[in-house]
Every structure is written in C-alpha cells, then in structure tokens.
Amino acid sequence: MPMKKTEKLTCKNRDLKTAAAVLKNGGLVVFPTETVYGIGANALDARAVKAIFRAKGRPQDNPLIVHVDGMKMLSGIAFDVPETARKLFRAFSPGPLTVVLKKKPLVPDCVTAGLDTVAVRIPSHPAARSLIRACGFPLAAPSANRSGKPSPTTYPMALHEMDGRADAVIDGGNCGHGLESTVVSIVDDEVTILRPGSVTREMIEKVLKRKNVLMAPHRGVKGKTRSPGTKYAHYRPKAEVVLVDPERAERIASYLKKRKGMNAAVLYAGNMKNLPDGLKKVRFRSAAEYAKKLYSTFHELDRFGTGVIIAVKVPPEGIGAALMNRLLKASGGKSL
C-alpha cells in the first residue's frame, strides 16, 4: 500500500472541520471514541469504505459498524427499529452499544459484507459526535488497528497503527472504556450479545426486565458465526499471551523455569499471592481498570520486547465477560 501523508489533528472545532472535509472527499480519518479509536469513512461512499479494508488489511467478509449522531440519522440507514432496540438505545446511547438492524438499500454492500443487516452505534465521545455532525453523513468505522492487532486506545497507539495509512488522525487522548462496544442482535425479539463490552449482559437484562439475554459462543455451530468478525484472530500483541487461573498462580513459577531467559510479564486485578520473582508485574485495581488498560498495556509491553504475557483470569461477570472474551482471543485459548 502506498504511504499517505497523514495529517495530525486535535479535537478543536477548526481541526474537526478539516477532518470532516477529508471525509467528504472520500478520505480516511482516525478519530477517538469512548471505547477505542476508529478509522472512519463516509458510510454511504463505497469507494471510501473499501479503502478502510485496505488500510487495515481487513478481510472483506467482516462487516463494519456505522456510527451516527442520533436516532434521526439512524433511521436513514435502518428499517423498522424494533421496540426492544429502542429501549436499549434509550438506556445506553450515546455510548458503547452497537445494535444490528435491518439495513436500508442505500448502505453499500461492502459496509455490511453483503449481509442484509447493519450494525449501528451512537458514540458518546464529544469529538466523534461533533465530527459526525460536521459531516452530516454516517461514518463506517472499525477499530483503527491493523487487522488482528489490539485496538488503539491512546493517540500514540492510533498513530503507530495508522500513520501513513489514514489521511488524518485526531488526538483525543486516552479512551475511557478501553474495550470495543457491546454488539447486540435482536431477532424475533430474542436478544443475543454477539460481542460483550462495557454495556454488560446484567445491565441489558435489567433494562429489558428479562433474564434470557443470550451470549453468542465464540464460534458458531458448525463454523457459522452470527457476527462474522468473531471467527478471525483478534487483539493479539507481538508477545505470546497465556492465561492462568488466579488459584493456580503457583504454575507461573514452573512455566517460567521451562522458558528460561524469556522476558515475561504478568497482568492481574486486585491482590495476588504466590507470584514468583523474575517477571514484570502489572497490577490493576479492578477488572474495569484491567479492561480499560489492557490494549495499551499490550502495546507498552511489546515496546519493551516482552516475550510472554501471563494474564490472570477474572470472573466472567459484568465487565469481566468482555475482558475474558478479549483475553481468550488474544491468547488463542492457551492457558497454564
């Protein structure tokens, strides 16, 4: 891919206008959201959207999320928004929630990878909102990482991934949530979480006053997935990632002995006893902080040439479900 000259922009109004002009001309702009940085293009311009796939090296059969500034723009791209979806948008939008809806024909097929549905989200980050408003059209935007890598959650990470690949990158500082949005599908009023995120299953069940919200398995039955993106390797730093149960921390010492000389780090939330010496210890106060800083920690550890990252598991409840989902993928399921 030929290198582009990437403009570095701030969140100031004047810069957001420049970014909107780039997008109107069919360009690519990396922008901050409250979850992770996205690489955006005009969602209604097939040519611009195809450039996203090239910049990321993303497989064509993995559809994109379309970002809108509110329900009015949303109804321009999706048919008959069911009442259940409306309830979720009322409760959690603007914010880290994506809902899969029936698409209108004006949404190009390359956005949805040929599906008849479109994933829609109303971000809450002020710069993302102002940018969409300045454009006046929806933005198709996957996470701004090269395919397979962890999503950028800081400006330096976003630049590291997309400098030379996007036309502009907006500096919005650090992302508040640090993991990608919760993706929800609603079919015949059955609600399934295709990708867990900061809007947790517990929060969704409370709002809908029901206890039967499903969590999609990582791989669908017979290799078919409802969310096409979930079948690819994801969120992987250069370092090898392995998981360990907090109750089995004593296994870390023998693992390190086997891999002598390996530059290792351990990530954990709360307090851990039995952690051996001779490895870098990264402690988070809570599962929420672990989730928020996971990708930036991966990035930092890669910079230090870490060979193996041992990630201590958390209970898969609340935000823990999203964190464990990403850790399972980053590790490819490997555990001690």
124 neighbors 94 (Cβ within 8 angstroms): yes
Supply the minimum distance, in Å, between the C-beta of residue 297 and ligand TXA. 18
35 binds Mg ion (CB under 5 A): no
297 binds ligand TXA (CB under 6 A): no
* Residues 74-93, interacting with ligand TXA (CB under 6 A): none
Question: Of all residues in this chain, which one has the CB nearest to ligand TXA in the complex?
Answer: 229
195 binds ligand TXA (CB under 6 A): yes
Cα atoms found within 13 Å of the Cα of residue 157, Cβ hemisphere only: 33
- Cα dist. 181→76, 92, 110 in Å? 22, 11, 21
143 binds Mg ion (CB under 5 A): yes
Block residue for tokens 């702009």? 29
Supply the minimum distance, in Å, between the C-beta of residue 219 and Mg ion. 17
Please report the beta strands in 210-327, taking only residues with DSSP state E, as ranges in sequence order.
214-215, 240-244, 264-269, 280-284, 308-312
Going by C-alpha positions, the residue among 198, 193, 25, 216 that lies closest to residue 119 is 193
Q: How far apart are the first and last CA of the chain?
A: 39
Supply the minimum distance, in Å, between the C-beta of residue 325 and Mg ion. 13
* Among residues 23, 36, 323, 330, the one that binds ligand TXA under rule CB under 6 A: 36
153 binds Mg ion (CB under 5 A): no
Tokens of 222: 């017979």
121 binds, among ligand TXA, Mg ion, none (CB under 5 to 8 A by kind): ligand TXA
44 binds ligand TXA (CB under 6 A): no
Block residue for tokens 């590291």? 160
Binding site for ligand TXA (CB under 6 A): 33, 35-36, 38, 62-65, 98, 100, 112, 115, 117-119, 121, 141-143, 180-181, 183, 194-195, 227-230
Binding site for Mg ion (CB under 5 A): 143
